[in-house]
Amino acid sequence: METRPYVSWELIGNFMTDTFQAVGVPEEDAKLCADVLMESDRRGIESHGCNRFKPIYIDRIIAGIQKPVTEYEILKETETTAVADAHDGMGMVASHKAMSAAIEKAKKHGMGMVAVRNSTHYGIAGYWATMASKEGLIGITGTNARPSIAPTFGVENMLGTNPLTVAFPTDEEFPFVLDCATSITQRGKIEYFARSGKDTPAGMVIGQDGSAMTDSQRILTALTRGEAALAPLGGIGEELAGYKGYGYATIVEILSAALQGGSYLKMLTGSDEKGNKCPYRLGHFFIAIDPEAFMGRETFRSICGKILRELRNSKKAPGQERIYTAGEKEYQAWQERKDKGVPVGEAVQKEFVEIRDRYGLPYKFPFES
C-alpha cells in the first residue's frame, strides 16, 4: 500500500516548468521537459521521473555542464535520415525534434531515422518511442550514457546502461512498449533505492574484487569513482547469459556514437582530464517505421494485438494470477495514478522545498504541515 503523499499532476507539472524557466529554459521547452519527467511517473517508472528532476537536470544546468537553451543544428540530411547536433542543450528538447523528424520522414517514405550528437540525458526512452506508436507507427530509440556496465568477465564500468526501446501500436487501449536498460538494473534505480534507504539486490552490481555489492549509497559513490560496475542483462558472468546483455549494450553504444561521429565509452564520464565536470555529450538514435509501407497499419495493429492477447492467455505458472505484456503494467500504473498524482518520498520532498525556496517560487506542497 502506498504511504507516500501524492502531489497532483497540475501542481508538480507547474512547479517543474517554473523551475526549468527559473534556470533559463524557454517556456515551451520547460513544459516539454516537465512532461517527459511526469510521463515516467505516470507509467510508474519512478527511476526516471521527478526523482531525477534536481540531480540530473537542475543541478547540471547550475553547474554549467548543460545548456538551458537548446541550439539544435541539422548537420546532414537525406529524405529518410538526418544527423543533428544538440550542442550540450536539453536532451529532451533535441529528442522531441529528432523523433518528430523521423516520424515525418516515415510517413512520407516508409522509414525515418535521426541520430543526435552532443546531447544530454533525454529522460524516459519510452516517451520517444511512443511518440511514433501514437501516430500508428513503430518507434525505436536508444541512447548511450556515462559508463556503468562492465563487459562480461570484466569489473571496469565501460558501457552505459544503454536502453534499447521499442513501441508498437496495437488494437488495444495501450501500445506494446519495451523500455528497459541493457544492464540488469540502471543507475536511476539504484538512486531510487538509496533515496528510499533500501539495499540493491545482490547480483546487480559488481565490485573491483568481482563480488556483488548491495549497499546502494556506497554503490553510487563507487560507480562515480569507477570502483564498481553494473552487471549486464543476465547478470555477472556467463551462467545466466550475461554476455547477451553485454552484446545488446554494445549495439546501442555503437548506434548511438558511430552514426553521428560522436562520443562513446570513457568519453562520457562527465569529467575532463583534470577531473573537472564537463558536458556528457551523449548520443541518441530515433527510428520510425510506417506499417502502411508494408501490409498496412490496421493489419499490423490487429496481428500485434492478437499476439499479445495469446501471450497473456497462455498457461500460467502455479501460484501466478496473470501474465503481462510490455506496456501493460505502465498502463495500469496510469489508471491508478491519473486522479491521485505523483507519490513523493522524503528525499524528493526536501529537494522540492529547497528548489522552491532558492528561486522564490509561490508553491505550497501537500506534504508540508
pTM of the model: 0.94
Task: Give the residues across from 119 on adjacent strands.
Answer: 282
**CATH class of the region 69-184+231-337:** alpha beta
- The pLDDT score that the predictor gives to residue 188 is 81
Q: What is the pLDDT of residue 73?
A: 98
Asked if domains 1-63+339-369 and 69-184+231-337 share a fold, the reply is no
Which string of DSSP letters, residue by residue, matches 289-318? E-GGGTT-HHHHHHHHHHHHHHHHTSPPPT
Q: What is the DSSP string of 67-110?
A: -SS---EEEEE-SSEEEEE-TT--HHHHHHHHHHHHHHHHHHHS
Which of helix, strand or coil describes residue 331? helix
What confidence score (pLDDT) does residue 224 get? 84
* Side-chain half-sphere exposure of 122, counting CA atoms within 13 A: 33
Q: Residue ranges of the domains in the chain?
A: 1-63+339-369, 69-184+231-337
Question: What residue type is assigned to position 319 of the chain?
Answer: G
Please name the amino acid found at residue 79.
E
The CATH number of the domain covering residues in 1-63+339-369 = 1.10.1530.10
Residue-level pLDDT at 185: 87
Structure confidence at residue 3 (pLDDT): 87
pLDDT tens digit at each of 369 positions of the chain: 788 999 999 999 999 999 999 999 999 999 999 999 999 999 999 889 999 999 999 999 999 999 999 999 999 999 999 999 999 999 999 999 999 999 999 999 999 999 999 999 999 999 999 999 999 999 999 999 999 999 999 999 999 999 999 999 999 999 999 999 999 988 888 988 998 899 999 989 999 999 999 999 999 999 888 899 999 999 988 888 999 999 999 999 999 999 999 999 999 999 999 989 999 999 999 999 999 999 999 999 999 999 999 999 999 999 999 999 999 999 999 999 999 999 999 999 999 999 999 999 999 999 997
